[in-house]
Structure 1
Amino acid sequence: MAVSENMIRTYKASGKLMLFGEYLVLNGSDCLAFPLKFGQTLSVTKSDEIIWESHSKHGIWFSASLSDDFTILDTNNEEVAAILRQLFLVIRSEKPDLDFNQKFKIEANFELNWGLGSSSTLISLLGQWSGVETKKLLEASFGGSGYDVACATANAPILYANGKIKKEVHLPESITDKLLFIYLGNKQNSREEIKRFKKKEVAQHQIETMNAMISNALQTDKIEVFEQQLNLSEELISSIIGTIQLKERFFADYPYSIKSLGAWGGDFFMATYRDLKTAKNYFEENGYNILFTYQEFIK
C-alpha cells in the first residue's frame, strides 16, 4: 500500500494462471500457479458517500453508488453490484468501525475477457484495504480453492494446497525460455465449471498422481521431462472431467506440448517450443494473435 499527500491509498494485486493441479486442487491436491505481470490496482479516496468505479483499458465498465447500509442506489450492472454489496457486508461484520464513505476506483491493465483474475484480484484488493481475511471474502462471493487470491500478492510461482501457499518456486531458464502463453478466445465461467467438477468422482490415487507430476516438473531442468509431466497431466484431467484434450481438438499437428490452463475451456493455454519465431508463426497462422513469452507474462 502507498499513501500520497492527498490521501489516495493504493493497493495492487496480480492476475493468475494455474499450470498443474486444475480442478484436483479442490480435492486437496497440490497446484502449481503463476502470478502475472498483469493485474488490477485499487485507489481509495475519502468521499461523502460510497462510490465504486471499475475501469478496463477501454473505460468504465462497472459503476455503483451505495447507501450507508449498502443499499444499491445506482449501478450499471445489478449482478456485479449485488456481489460488491455482499462483500461490503462481510467486511462490515468483521470491521464494524471501518469508514466506507470512500471512492473506490479499480483499474485493470489487461483485457477482462482474458480470464486472468478480475474476481480474485478484487478479493485481494478489498482484503488489503479492509484488513479482512480474503478467505472470508472469497467464501461469501466467488468460492474456489483460493489459489488465485494467493497469487494476487505472490512474487513468484507458488506451490499451493489446502488454502495456503506451501512455498514459492523458481523454474529454470531452460524451461521458462521454452514456454509460450496463447489466448484461445473464450472466457470461461470458472464457477460453473467448478460446480460441474464437484459432481465427478475423484480417487485418492489421482490426487497423488497429480502431486507426483508437479514434483517431477519442479525437479527437472530438461524441457523434455517437463513436457512429459504436462502431457500426463492433460491425460489425467481429461479422463476425470470427460473433456477431449486441447491439443487433440485444435492443434494435433503441433510438434510439442499443449497445456490447458485453469478451467479447461477458453482463456489462455500454454505451448512449449524450441524456436520462438516458428511457434509464434504456427499459432498466428491458425488465428491466435495474442501471445506472450514467460518473461513477458509471468512475475
Structure 2
Amino acid sequence: MKKTFYSNGKLLITGEYLVLDGAKAFALPTKFGQNLTVEESQGKIIDWKSYDKDGSIWFEEQIPFESITQNDGADDSKSIRNTLIEILHEAYRMNPDFIDNGKGYTITTELTFPKLWGLGTSSTLINNIAQWLQIDAFELLKTSFGGSGYDIACAQNCSAITYQLVHEKPIIESVDFHPDFTDKIFFVYLNKKQSSKASIAAYYGKGGNIEKRIPIINAITERVIRATTAKEFALALQQHEIEMSNVLEVSTIKEALFPDFDGLIKSLGAWGGDFVITVSKENPTSYFKAKGFGVVVPYSEMIL
C-alpha cells in the first residue's frame, strides 16, 4: 500500500534569528513544497530516493533498519545520509513501531522547488516523516535538526502565520494577510543556498544585546502585518533590516549588492543567501537580471 504526504515550503518575513530567542515572527507558506511517498517492501532496509524539481536524483541510499536503531551515521563523507539517519533514529525513539514491526520500505521524496532555493528541504522532510509516523513534528525537529520550528508551522499551515516560542513552546496564529499591494512584492534568489545551522551559530557568536531587540522586532512584525499600503509595508521592513544589520554586525543586502535599487530589499531567513523580498513601484525583474540574478518570483506565484 502506497502512502503519500505533502508539506509546504516557507519564507520568514520578519523575526529571523531573534525568533530563536522568543521574538514574534511573521512567516508565509509557499506554493512550493515536498512530497514523501512510502511503500512497504522487504529486507529490513529503507530504499530511499530524493528527487529534485527537475526530476534528477540528488540523494539515493539503502539504509538498514539496524543503522536507524543504532543511529549509525559514522561515515562522515556522507553527511546527508548521516542527517537522515539521525532524523529517522529520533523518529524511531518517538514511535518504534515502524522499525520493530516493519519489513522494509521504499521511500521517495520529490521537491516542487529547486533544492538550492532553500524553501525548506529539511523542514518539509521532517514534517512529512512526522505525518507518516504520527509523531510530533516540532519535537522531531528539536531532537534532530534543530531550529525555531517556524518552518514546521509553515509546513502545516496554508495561510500566513505569526510564530513565537513562549517557554520553548510554539505559539502559532493564523494571519489574514491579503493586502492589495502584493503586485509590488517580488522574491529574488541570490544564487546561493545559505546554511541555516552555520548562520545560527554565527548569530549566537555575536552575543549582542538580544533581549532589548525583541520588543522592537515584535512591534515591527505588527506593523508589517497591519500595513495597508506598500509604503507602510516597505518602511517597516526597512527598519527591520537596519535592526538586524546592527545585531549581526554586517551590511544590509541592499548596501552590499544593490545600492542603486529604487525600492525596498530585505534579507529573508539566513542572511547572505537564499531569497530576499523586494517592494517597488515597477516590476524589478529586468533590474535583477541585469545584475545576474535571474530568479525573480512574483508574490502571487510564490505564496499560498
Q: What TM-score do the two structures reach when normalised by structure 2?
A: 0.91
Q: Return 143-152 or 50-59, whichever deviates more.
A: 50-59
User: Which residue among 210, 218, 224 is the counterpart of 1:211?
Assistant: 218
Gaps of 5+ in 1: 1-6
Q: Which residue of 2 aligns with 1:254?
A: 261
Q: How many residues align?
A: 290
User: Which residue among 286, 290, 296 is the counterpart of 1:291?
Assistant: 296
Q: Deviations over 1:18-67 (max 9, x none)?
A: 11000110110000111111111000001103211111124111111122
User: Which residue among 233, 236, 239 is the counterpart of 1:226?
Assistant: 233
Q: Which residue of 1 aligns with 2:198?
A: 192
User: Which residue among 35, 39, 42 is the counterpart of 2:36?
Assistant: 42
Q: Percent sequence identity over matched residues?
A: 34
Matches within 5 A, 1:107-146: 107-146=110-149
2:175 is aligned with 1:169: yes
Q: Return 196-205 or 285-294, whichever deviates more.
A: 196-205
Q: Which residue of 2 aligns with 1:3?
A: none
Matches within 5 A, 1:50-199: 50-56=46-52, 57-70=54-67, 78-98=78-98, 99-100=101-102, 101-162=104-165, 163-199=169-205
**Aligned with 1:39: secondary structure?**
strand
Query: Given that residues 18 and 210 in structure 2 are in contact (C-alpha distance below 8 angstroms), is that contact kept between their aligned partners in structure 1?
Result: no
Give 1:233 shift.
0.2
Letter in 1 for 2:255: E
Letter in 1 for 2:182: T
Q: Distance in 2 between matches of 1:32 and 1:223?
A: 17
Matches within 5 A, 1:268-287: 268-276=275-283, 279-287=284-292
Letter in 1 for 2:66: D
Letter in 2 for 1:53: K
Give 1:139 shift.
2.1
**Aligned with 2:237: secondary structure?**
helix
Gaps of 5+ in 2: none
**Aligned with 2:135: secondary structure?**
coil
4+ residue stretches of structure 1 with deviation over 6 A? none
Give 1:165 shift.
4.2
Q: What TM-score do the two structures reach when normalised by structure 1?
A: 0.92
Q: Return 237-246 or 192-201, whichever deviates more.
A: 192-201
Query: Given that residues 90 and 144 in structure 2 are in contact (C-alpha distance below 8 angstroms), is that contact kept between their aligned partners in structure 1?
Result: no
Q: Which residue of 2 aligns with 1:30?
A: 24
**Aligned with 1:177: secondary structure?**
helix
Q: Return 148-157 or 161-170, whichever deviates more.
A: 161-170
Q: Distance in 2 between matches of 1:97 and 1:284?
A: 51
Letter in 2 for 1:144: G
Query: Given that residues 150 and 165 in structure 1 are in contact (C-alpha distance below 8 angstroms), is that contact kept between their aligned partners in structure 2?
Result: no
Give 1:96 shift.
2.2
Q: Deviations over 1:124-160 (max 9, x none)?
A: 1111101121122212322110101111121011100
Task: Please give the root-mean-square deviation of Cα atoms over the aligned residues, in Å.
Answer: 1.8
Give 1:188 shift.
0.4
**Aligned with 1:248: secondary structure?**
helix
